[in-house]
Amino acid sequence: MPMLPFLVACFLLFALLFSLDDLILDLYFYFRFRSTNRSRIKIEDLDTVQPKLVAIFVAAWQEQDVIADMLHNTLTTLNYPKPFFHIFVGVYPNDTATQAAIQPLLARFKNLHMVVNAQDGPTNKANNINYLYSNGLIPFENASGLKFSVIAIHDSEDVVHPTSLKLVNYLIPKYDAVQLPVFPLQPYPTLRNFIKFLTSGTYADEFAENHFRTMVSREIGHFIVPSAGTGFFMARSAVDKVEAARGNLFSEGSLTEDYELSLYMQKIGLGVHYFLEGVARINAKGRLVNEFIATREFFPNTLHAAIKQKARWIYGIAFQAARQMHLADYDRYQEYSLIRDLKAKYGNIILVPMYLILIYVVVSYFEPLPALIPLHSMAWYFSVVLTVLAIERQIMRAIALKHVYGWRSALLSCFLPPFLPLRFTWGNIINFLATLRAWRIALFGSPKSKAKWDKTAHTYLSKELLAAYKRHLGDLLLEKNIISPAQLKAALPELKNSSRHLGEVLMSAGTITEMQLLSSLGELWGSGHLEHIGNLANPALAKVFPRALSVELGVVPLLLWQNKVLLAASQPLPETVSQRITTLLDSEPSVIFVPAAEITAAQKTVYAGKALSSPNPHKRLGELLLEKGFVDIDQLREAFEVQNETGEQLGQVMLQLGLISSAQLESVLPELEAAMA
């Protein structure tokens, strides 16, 4: 056999062996995932778990262009009680532009905290988050008496899914850590913008394939599930165990600190789990869609930025991690997944020679060139199998893209043109160049042990586009399985022909009850709901909140504290009404939704002209905790809601929710007993 065809045959065999593990995962996904119950979690069951305190860490360096929009969107759209999540943003002393962008939000949102690093930036993401934990979260817990149950990691350009915290609250502490999908943001695909967004489109292809299929296969196959660096959630017990074992949450010497953390967690017996879950929605075109509970963000759209970013990933995973790990620390399934990750530094290199061989073979049909792959030779059979595997890979990628982005994205990405698709080929070229860069770093000069932040520039969605991700009442009613898609579709035309709101239409049709509407509105607005006010009504507030105004607006005051008033209402207050109340009382209104009949009954109590014969111990305890500064009015409102549903003592509810400490509760009990005597 001539030497060149022999070398080509060896090369094709090598490429074939590298491709087989992809086929194994595809088959594993197809048969195991289809044989398991895809609806492992019923979305309506998420409401059965009481909310836990969640701390969201966001590391920021020169993010002045996106950080304010990201924080505002996250703080206002998360479908999770506001008293139960806090965002800690890590910034640097020499990054005043990012600090200035965050500053206006700090006065508005009490659950937002900016932590200035002791060092000038950039350090790296690992150092930033470690500092957030030790010098942001821990001091806050010590000062407030709160104890967070979940630590979340997000990036400064993330569009966080509104249901993500509720899903994670349901999953933790059953699991040590949870990774949710990450899907790149992409414009609606057209032939015109296909070339314009060719580079960022390769990220959409790869993340759709990995996070729709590969990560699911790793989860159900008990392989190592890696952290993606964002949309990552850890139980506090797991964080404490990692901290106790090595002193820091993240390794500051790794370029891929998220991947390294995943390996370390598996090594000390902590598991990372992946969940691909969706919620039903009616989109703007009136079609029922399944929207994945995933983190979305823009990725680089220039060749240089993509190569630099992917080289960092490849070097961190396939080179740094390879030197630090010991396969003996893992079981055989985990070993397989690790070896599969490490092969990228070789697998990406063979892609371009494959294209050169293909070009040579095609040209040989038109020009008299020496045969590289003689007909029916071993190399020929290898090439046939590789061609079949390549087609299979494209079909599997198209399926993933169809589920994540729709049919148009799948067709343009995987079948334009029909042979050797352009975006698939461009993605392989980027990966080849990025791998060469990673090899250069490994061979001719590794980064410093604590590498500087080699970040890319970020952009964020406009307010108009963000509106598509905001939850609406219909979305929540579908999510809670209160109504069906058919019932929602039937109600939508009536909204166009009347001034009534969706809740009114559904109630008048008997589709939902008043309490179902109020519970959904309370969740949508972050206001909570009560079925009964009882003697929470406060006659003393009749002096500051006129009866005429109470009747006109359909509200009743429950608590007035410092610059906030807690009102019971049966529907959301328009912005003009909120401003009117703020002007009158010099206090911002906070609303909790209750049935209209309860409003009427409470108004009679408040404006009866006499004090209550028996003060409510729950209300008095809440007032004492407010006076001591242990809770704010929004936290108290949330505790009232849970207490109303469970019937437990308010103090016990607040302890269980992590809103107060045992010492804080014990400190006010003597005053409560004296007040009730």
| Lowest-pLDDT choice from 307-316, 550-559, 627-636 | 627-636
Q: What is the DSSP string of 516-548?
A: HHHHHHHHHTT--B-S--GGG--GGGGGTS-HH
pLDDT tens digits, one per residue of 138-157: 999 998 888 999 999 999 99
Whole-angstrom distance, CA of residue 505 vs CA of residue 193: 41
Whole-angstrom distance, CA of residue 641 vs CA of residue 81: 11
pLDDT tens digits, one per residue of 591-606: 999 999 999 999 988 8
For residue 26, the one-letter residue type is: D
pLDDT, position 435? 96
| Preceding amide of 589 cis, omega within 30 | no
Considering 25-39, 509-523, 635-649, the range whose residues carry the highest mean pLDDT is 509-523
Number of Cβ atoms within 10 Å of the Cβ of 273: 16
pLDDT, position 3? 77
pLDDT, position 372? 82
Using 50, 70 and 90 to split pLDDT, how confident is the model at 324? confident
pLDDT tens digits, one per residue of 176-231: 999 999 999 999 889 889 999 999 999 999 999 999 999 998 998 888 999 999 99
In percent, how much of the chain has pLDDT > 90? Answer: 51
Query: Regarding predicted confidence, which is higher, 579 or 671?
Result: 579
Query: Regarding predicted confidence, which is higher, 384 or 1?
Result: 384
DSSP state of 159: B
Kindly tell me if the per-residue pLDDT of 448 is higher than 60. Answer: no
Task: Report, as an integer, the average pLDDT of 443-470.
Answer: 72
Whole-angstrom distance, CA of residue 556 vs CA of residue 541: 9
pLDDT, position 624? 87
Residue pointed to by tokens 């630590």: 151
Task: Report, as an integer, the average pLDDT of 13-33.
Answer: 80
Q: How many residues does this entry show for the chain?
A: 677
Kindly tell me if the per-residue pLDDT of 446 is higher than 70. Answer: no
Using 50, 70 and 90 to split pLDDT, how confident is the model at 642? confident
| Preceding amide of 81 cis, omega within 30 | no
Query: Regarding predicted confidence, which is higher, 127 or 465?
Result: 127
Whole-angstrom distance, CA of residue 295 vs CA of residue 74: 11
Whole-angstrom distance, CA of residue 542 vs CA of residue 611: 11
Kindly tell me if the per-residue pLDDT of 1 is higher than 50. Answer: no
Kindly tell me if the per-residue pLDDT of 327 is higher than 80. Answer: no
Whole-angstrom distance, CA of residue 217 vs CA of residue 231: 19
Whole-angstrom distance, CA of residue 380 vs CA of residue 306: 35
Average pLDDT, the chain: 88
pLDDT tens digits, one per residue of 512-567: 999 999 999 999 888 889 988 877 888 888 888 999 999 999 999 988 887 788 99
pLDDT, position 159? 96
Kindly tell me if the per-residue pLDDT of 450 is higher than 50. Answer: no
Whole-angstrom distance, CA of residue 550 vs CA of residue 543: 12
pLDDT, position 612? 52
Kindly tell me if the per-residue pLDDT of 456 is higher than 80. Answer: no
| Lowest-pLDDT choice from 322-331, 399-408, 496-505, 576-585 | 322-331
Beta bridge partners of 560: 565
H or E segment at 288? Answer: strand 288-292
Task: Report, as an integer, the average pLDDT of 493-511.
Answer: 87
E runs forming strands in 36-82 = 54-59
Residue pointed to by tokens 């996250």: 74
Q: Residues 88, 59: contact at Cβ < 8 Å?
A: no
| Lowest-pLDDT choice from 48-62, 97-111, 490-504 | 490-504
Return the CATH number of 40-180+231-299, one of 3.90.550.10, 3.40.50.300, 2.40.50.100, 2.40.50.660.
3.90.550.10
Using 50, 70 and 90 to split pLDDT, how confident is the model at 174? very high
Kindly tell me if the per-residue pLDDT of 125 is higher than 70. Answer: yes
Kindly tell me if the per-residue pLDDT of 457 is higher than 80. Answer: no
Whole-angstrom distance, CA of residue 547 vs CA of residue 136: 45
Show me where the domains of the chain are located. Answer: 1-38+187-208+301-455, 40-180+231-299, 472-511, 523-676
For residue 589, the one-letter residue type is: P
Task: Report, as an integer, the average pLDDT of 644-666.
Answer: 86
Using 50, 70 and 90 to split pLDDT, how confident is the model at 611? low
The C-alpha torsion from 282 through 288 and 292 to 293, rounded to 10°, is 30
DSSP state of 383: H
In percent, how much of the chain has pLDDT > 70? Answer: 95
Task: Report, as an integer, the average pLDDT of 501-522.
Answer: 93
pLDDT, position 449? 41
pLDDT, position 39? 47
Residue 582: burial class (beta carbons within 10 Å; 0-12, 13-18, 19+): middle
Task: Report, as an integer, the average pLDDT of 94-115.
Answer: 96
Using 50, 70 and 90 to split pLDDT, how confident is the model at 451? low
DSSP state of 317: I
pLDDT, position 233? 98
Sort residue 269 into left (φ over 0), alpha (ψ -120 to 50) or beta.
left
pLDDT, position 78? 94
Residue 29: burial class (beta carbons within 10 Å; 0-12, 13-18, 19+): buried
- Percentages helix, strand, coil for the chain, rounded to the nearest 5? 55, 10, 35
Using 50, 70 and 90 to split pLDDT, how confident is the model at 29? confident
pLDDT, position 336? 83
DSSP state of 482: S
Considering 26-40, 263-277, 358-372, 538-552, the range whose residues carry the highest mean pLDDT is 263-277
pLDDT tens digits, one per residue of 232-271: 999 999 999 999 999 999 999 888 999 999 999 999 999 9
